[in-house]
Amino acid sequence: MDESARESVGPDPTRRFRLDGKVALVTGGSRGLGREMVRAFARCGADVVIASRKEEACRELAREVEQETGRRALAVASHVGRWSDCDALAARALDHFGQVDVLVNNAGMSPTYPSIVEISEALYDKVMDVNLKGAFRLSAVLGTAMMERGSGSIIGVSSVAASQASPYEVPYGAAKAGLHSLTRSLARAFAPKVRVNCIMPGAFLTDISKAWSPEMMAGLEAMTPMHRAGRPDEIVGAALYLASDASSYTTGSILKVDGGTAWGTG
């Protein structure tokens, strides 16, 4: 294509998905959907902070990222259900890189329980702490730092359980619905400099899915219009869109990546 032709079609729109010069922090980043996001961000030019409770898993992925992409990767052991751990994680990332431009609140948990009345206070608190409290505290601290720098993107990772009621995920669904509310509230609180959005995944074939029975898998496939669970790499497009300048006019949004499972976005 000659120069005049290039000018007529404008700049390459795919450049807006690049993350060169940015730092991305992903909680629950050592496995599953978080791992795929970390790898994608680094491949698109970002330095990354990989946080989870298992430090060695974070370190292993950090080494892989640095060897494959040449980007810097910081591994941090952190329990995001603890307020103090969130503060320490934010401080470590800011001290190490001097900035955090993208925060992905991906850490989550949904333990099983025998019945609703047998849900213990400890289980209820743990689910709320990991899925909602940690996302709030990290967003508050790093969102404020982003405001001071003049830009940034915060991404929550919820679940179809936030809008599709289930007797098997009562505390988890409530926490993820809270994450949707948090997304919309913080989008207004941090506007116009920092964008706050949320990805709402359906069933994905991550490590957790290995424990699913054939009957459970068949049920999931039957209720999903695309008749299958998602591959972990299929979260990458949504994550890159929301993390990058490609979504410069998107904030307060809940983006479904669920094969059509959920009727609404909560």
CATH at residue 148: 3.40.50.720
Does the residue 224 lie in any domain?
A: yes
Q: Is the pLDDT of residue 5 over 50?
A: no
Does the residue 8 lie in any domain?
A: no
Does the residue 262 lie in any domain?
A: no
Does the residue 95 lie in any domain?
A: yes
pLDDT of residue 4: 45
Provide the annotated active-site residues.
Answer: 172
Does the residue 178 lie in any domain?
A: yes
| Residues 125-152: b if buried by 16+ CB within 10 A, e if exposed | eebbbbbbbbbbbbbbbbbebbeeeeeb
Please identify which residue in the block is written with the tokens 């890159």.
240
Start-end of H helices in the chain:
3-9, 32-43, 55-69, 83-97, 121-128, 134-149, 170-189, 214-223, 236-243
* pLDDT tier at 6, thresholds 50, 70, 90: very low
pTM: 0.93
Task: Express each pLDDT in 212-258 by its tens digit.
Answer: 667 777 777 778 888 888 889 999 999 999 999 999 999 999 999 99
* pLDDT tier at 2, thresholds 50, 70, 90: very low
Number of domains in the chain: 1
Instruction: Count CA within 13 A, CB hemisphere, residue 94.
Output: 16
Go through the chain and tell me how many residues it has: 266
Does the residue 4 lie in any domain?
A: no
Does the residue 236 lie in any domain?
A: yes
Please identify which residue in the block is written with the tokens 């790499």.
233
Does the residue 6 lie in any domain?
A: no
* pLDDT tier at 54, thresholds 50, 70, 90: very high
Phi-psi region of 32 (alpha: psi -120 to 50; beta: other; left: phi over 0): left
Query: Residues 154-182: what's their mean pLDDT?
Result: 94
Task: Express each pLDDT in 79-103 by its tens digit.
Answer: 999 999 999 999 999 999 999 999 9
pLDDT of residue 211: 64
Structural domain span for residue 17: 13-256
